Chain A
């Protein structure tokens, strides 16, 4: 039953991607590899064991007769037109296939199987419009080999393979972060292969098989005259070849690679460039990591798949914490609550959440509640004929996506969106629709930000004197940040394990509630001391400032009025109600400017997939 399900999903996935695959190959997708190549160097010299995609049959015949120039090989002067500037940028519309097909097996073996002193490091070679990246790996220690050489014992056998390299060919103009990721994958596969070689000579065995098939096909062709690609014949016989093909196919489509080298060691990898995209461009991994580090405890984790589907994708030996988190998380629960419910500490929650987001399985949102205000995302695909519109119609029969999206043309709060007079069943469905739209990045959430800007003084109102520089330029604000040990795979330190409760971070907790004691007045004065004389005067002249409590609250929250902290954050940090804050803003509106926009910290996650 399970295999059938898997096959169907796979089939769907493949057909879904087939169309895009074709267009990828044509326009030279910058984040996909063009080819994967396995080379070795050893006592038999340099060998190309396997390459994928295969060359077309016609190419094969030419590559066998290496003296003849292959008609499909890149012509030395042909591909770069008689351009006196010798610009190496793409001149002819060669497809990716042709770019690498032009390199014969022999030349690839020569240039990709490096000398041993290039092993253990990133290998990068650029030839015209192709870039090769890999991680050549030594199988034997150099000094072991030397010992063997000087050992006169005739019985000792030379090791047949000295080094190997899994190389990815990319377009030369691929983004450096893509190149870096490909190198990472090459290295991971190399580590697995090295391990299996030491344990049971896995690589040597596969190599023998591959070379045997190559020899066989060469012989056959010479006798029959019928051209065949040796690599096509290798596939059914060698698991490693199938693994490499799968890695290549996955990189070109979903960007998620999962291999089981020798059916034993798992190598998993994801190419964030395929998973996280804004408009037509990928999100640079550094931007992604920066955003992940800025997540706050009041954010929530929204899974992009159903709980069941997600759990089914996890490996058998995955961490129980991950399973617990997936089972416990919900769009209405913030990360701090999630930590309590899942019985994990906040740092673990952050790390697992970051992991899920990085792999494209979840996004960070603000927890769903009545007052959340949503608006149509500028990147949303609102086309009548989009696959999203179709999917929406299937998921919610009787409703169409464009009409629903039109409702969010103006900012709409969840409470406004739901009609309180309708039966609760309908209500639940409306919430589901919002969640559905959020998962597909069709909506963005707007937050309120406040900035202190005092009307300029009468004298010289046109100039921007130093005093007029708003608060932020003069006062270094404190930032209440999340645990800093949020990096991928780094060990946690005990310092980061404790997250101080927000109120302790803030000196305002020391203020006594209520009462116009001299202590409170002194506190208020201190807080207002960071303002200029003019600013202080203006504020104190506001009618609301006559109330010591209001003034104290204002002073206490002053450092939030720089336009970088939204209402919900202030509410969370200061443990205040929305109505309290709104009233305060209203009272002091003559010196505050309010605006609404998306939260830049998580707006990265609200950007659409391609």
Chain B
């Protein structure tokens, strides 16, 4: 992986000089931080005790400075304390969250070095900082990672890690499907649980089923899949059944507008061994999905278009790309005897998928049960 889009413009080492006060001792490239800029922000770099060891990011004069002020107290230092801060400078518009762990780690390294061997307080060894900072700047910008031995016992290991959004909670009735070809992934890179369930992720098995067949505890499967979701390796769709109902979303037009989606779709949905399906057929199929129409209905109405198309993969692709959405059934118990208990599952909050998963009933069983109950109405959404 190459470096992310963060560009570090400068690395600086600042300290509190016993007579000159706060100053920048080293910076690469030289003269990057102006006298003016440092004057404005020095209160955030060499700080009062209350702010020490905190990650501080300040924006000023079009630049963002990220640092972590360190204070080591000891009688041997003039003024009984050593204050310093190794920080990074970026353009003010950069998103710098990913740099924070690096700054924190660097402050930790330097603190350790000072405590172990007086690396910073010793004028001679302090000079080694400059080439270290140069290398850091170069390598972090180039590859997003840096490994630097400092002395016999200390090595700096740094890596820029992209921060992603928190993933959704994975439910037992969700179906994970790979976003890319399964073979692209090196199994051994993943943890044991994930390795065990990988084979069962086929875009049709739901979490509960995977748990049962792979013989892995349900919550472990949920967490493993959530992890895969976090890295964008899988996405979630709903359980497939021929009785399912879907409808198109405005995004279905992207099949017409976007050449790459067309290509990808036609390749994905064509039956194995057949000539590639044509756009018109596939688009007609998606548009044939309407409220009230089951997949079974679609198959009988559009049998000609389905000659070269695998309907299960058609639905799968449509859901993955949000070209279509599933209409779920929600039972609601609208009237009941005063003596009977209030509904627990038939409240409009739980779909058929969820109820069947939780109770072990099949759709058909649930349908039969509810159809005979005059107090229950069903909403689709």
Residues of chain A with a CB closer than 8 A to B39's CB: 115
Contact (Cβ within 8 A) A382 B381: yes
Q: Which of the 9-residue segments B13-21, B98-106, B141-149 touches chain A? A: B98-106
Within 331-346 of B, Cβ neighbours of A (below 8 Å) are at 332-334, 343
B3 to chain A, nearest CB (A): 18
- Beyond contacts A406-B378, A594-B287: 12 other A-B pairs, Cβ-Cβ < 8 A, are A85-B105, A86-B108, A110-B43, A118-B40, A127-B55, A380-B381, A400-B334, A403-B334, A453-B280, A468-B279, A473-B257, A595-B252
B57 to chain A, nearest CB (A): 4
Contact (Cβ within 8 A) B51 A111: yes
A548 to chain B, nearest CB (A): 27
Contact (Cβ within 8 A) B347 A385: yes
The residue that B247 contacts in the complex, of A104, A451, A597, with Cβ under 8 A, is A597
Q: Give the complex CA separation of A110 and B247 in angstroms.
A: 59
- Does B330 lie at the interface of the complex (its beta carbon under 8 Å from any beta carbon of A)? yes
Residues of chain B with a CB closer than 8 A to A451's CB: 253, 256, 283
- Does A152 lie at the interface of the complex (its beta carbon under 8 Å from any beta carbon of B)? no
Contact (Cβ within 8 A) B250 A597: yes
Q: Which of the 9-residue segments A6-14, A287-295, A371-379 touches chain B? A: A371-379
Interface contacts (Cβ under 8 Å), in number, total 179
- Does A499 lie at the interface of the complex (its beta carbon under 8 Å from any beta carbon of B)? no
Contact (Cβ within 8 A) B275 A461: yes
Within 566-610 of A, Cβ neighbours of B (below 8 Å) are at 593-600, 603
Contact (Cβ within 8 A) B55 A88: yes
Task: Given A86-B105, A383-B348, decide whether A76 and B381 contact each other with a Cβ distance below 8 A.
Answer: no
Residues of chain B with a CB closer than 8 A to A271's CB: none
Contact (Cβ within 8 A) A107 B50: yes
Task: Given A110-B48, A384-B347, A593-B284, decide whether A376 and B379 contact each other with a Cβ distance below 8 A.
Answer: yes
- Does A462 lie at the interface of the complex (its beta carbon under 8 Å from any beta carbon of B)? yes
The residue that A124 contacts in the complex, of B53, B59, B104, B249, with Cβ under 8 A, is B59
Residues of chain A with a CB closer than 8 A to B377's CB: 402-403, 406
Contact (Cβ within 8 A) A402 B334: yes
Task: Given A117-B40, A563-B253, decide whether A384 and B334 contact each other with a Cβ distance below 8 A.
Answer: yes
Task: Given A84-B105, A375-B291, A563-B253, decide whether A406 and B36 contact each other with a Cβ distance below 8 A.
Answer: no
Contact (Cβ within 8 A) B101 A88: yes
**Residue of A with least CB distance to B60:** A118
Q: Give the complex CA separation of A88 and B103 in angstroms.
A: 10
A48 to chain B, nearest CB (A): 13
Q: Give the complex CA separation of A462 and B286 in angstroms.
A: 18
Task: Given A127-B51, A600-B250, decide whether A383 and B381 contact each other with a Cβ distance below 8 A.
Answer: no
Residues of chain B with a CB closer than 8 A to A381's CB: 348
Contact (Cβ within 8 A) B263 A409: no
The residue that B55 contacts in the complex, of A85, A124, A128, with Cβ under 8 A, is A128
Within 109-127 of A, Cβ neighbours of B (below 8 Å) are at 110-111, 114-115, 117-118, 122-127
Q: Give the complex CA separation of A264 and B141 in angstroms.
A: 53
The residue that B263 contacts in the complex, of A89, A464, A472, A473, with Cβ under 8 A, is A464
Residues of chain B with a CB closer than 8 A to A127's CB: 51, 54-57
Q: Contact residues of A with B, CB < 8 Å?
A: 73-74, 76-77, 80, 84-89, 103-104, 107, 110-111, 114-115, 117-118, 122-128, 375-378, 380-386, 400, 402-403, 405-406, 409-411, 449, 451, 453-456, 461-464, 468-470, 472-473, 562-564, 593-600, 603
Task: Given A125-B44, A461-B278, decide whether A473 and B287 contact each other with a Cβ distance below 8 A.
Answer: no
- Does B262 lie at the interface of the complex (its beta carbon under 8 Å from any beta carbon of A)? yes
Contact (Cβ within 8 A) A455 B348: no
Contact (Cβ within 8 A) A382 B379: yes
Contact (Cβ within 8 A) B253 A564: yes
Task: Given A86-B104, A382-B332, A385-B347, decide whether A402 and B54 contact each other with a Cβ distance below 8 A.
Answer: no
The residue that A598 contacts in the complex, of B40, B59, B250, B292, with Cβ under 8 A, is B250
Residues of chain A with a CB closer than 8 A to B325's CB: 378
Contact (Cβ within 8 A) A107 B48: yes
- Does B193 lie at the interface of the complex (its beta carbon under 8 Å from any beta carbon of A)? no
Provide the B345-381 mask, 1 if CB < 8 A to any CB of A, else 0.
0011100000000000000000000000000011111
Q: Give the complex CA separation of A88 and B330 in angstroms.
A: 42
Contact (Cβ within 8 A) A409 B379: yes
Contact (Cβ within 8 A) A464 B52: no
**Residue of A with least CB distance to B99:** A88
B59 to chain A, nearest CB (A): 5
Contact (Cβ within 8 A) A410 B292: yes
Contact (Cβ within 8 A) A593 B53: no
Task: Given A382-B332, A402-B377, A563-B256, decide whether A455 and B55 contact each other with a Cβ distance below 8 A.
Answer: no
Q: Give the complex CA separation of A581 and B332 in angstroms.
A: 40
**Residue of A with least CB distance to B55:** A88
Contact (Cβ within 8 A) A409 B280: no
**Residue of B with least CB distance to A595:** B287
Q: Give the complex CA separation of A409 and B332 in angstroms.
A: 13
Residues of chain A with a CB closer than 8 A to B50's CB: 73, 103-104, 107
The residue that A593 contacts in the complex, of B40, B43, B280, B334, with Cβ under 8 A, is B280
- Does B192 lie at the interface of the complex (its beta carbon under 8 Å from any beta carbon of A)? no
Residues of chain B with a CB closer than 8 A to A87's CB: 100-101, 104
12 pairs from A and B in contact (CB 8 Å cutoff): A85-B101, A88-B55, A111-B44, A115-B40, A118-B40, A128-B54, A382-B349, A406-B377, A409-B381, A464-B262, A597-B250, A599-B250
B245 to chain A, nearest CB (A): 10
**Residue of B with least CB distance to A603:** B250
Residues of chain B with a CB closer than 8 A to A596's CB: 247-248, 290
- Does B72 lie at the interface of the complex (its beta carbon under 8 Å from any beta carbon of A)? no
Contact (Cβ within 8 A) B334 A76: no
- Does B58 lie at the interface of the complex (its beta carbon under 8 Å from any beta carbon of A)? yes
- Does B136 lie at the interface of the complex (its beta carbon under 8 Å from any beta carbon of A)? no
Contact (Cβ within 8 A) B248 A455: no
Task: Given A118-B60, A597-B250, decide whether A378 and B51 contact each other with a Cβ distance below 8 A.
Answer: no
B278 to chain A, nearest CB (A): 5
Contact (Cβ within 8 A) A456 B280: yes
- Does B184 lie at the interface of the complex (its beta carbon under 8 Å from any beta carbon of A)? no
Q: Give the complex CA separation of A142 and B277 in angstroms.
A: 73
Q: Give the complex CA separation of A536 and B381 in angstroms.
A: 41
Task: Given A86-B108, A593-B287, decide whether A77 and B40 contact each other with a Cβ distance below 8 A.
Answer: no
The residue that A406 contacts in the complex, of B278, B292, B332, with Cβ under 8 A, is B332
Residues of chain A with a CB closer than 8 A to B284's CB: 453, 593
- Does B35 lie at the interface of the complex (its beta carbon under 8 Å from any beta carbon of A)? no
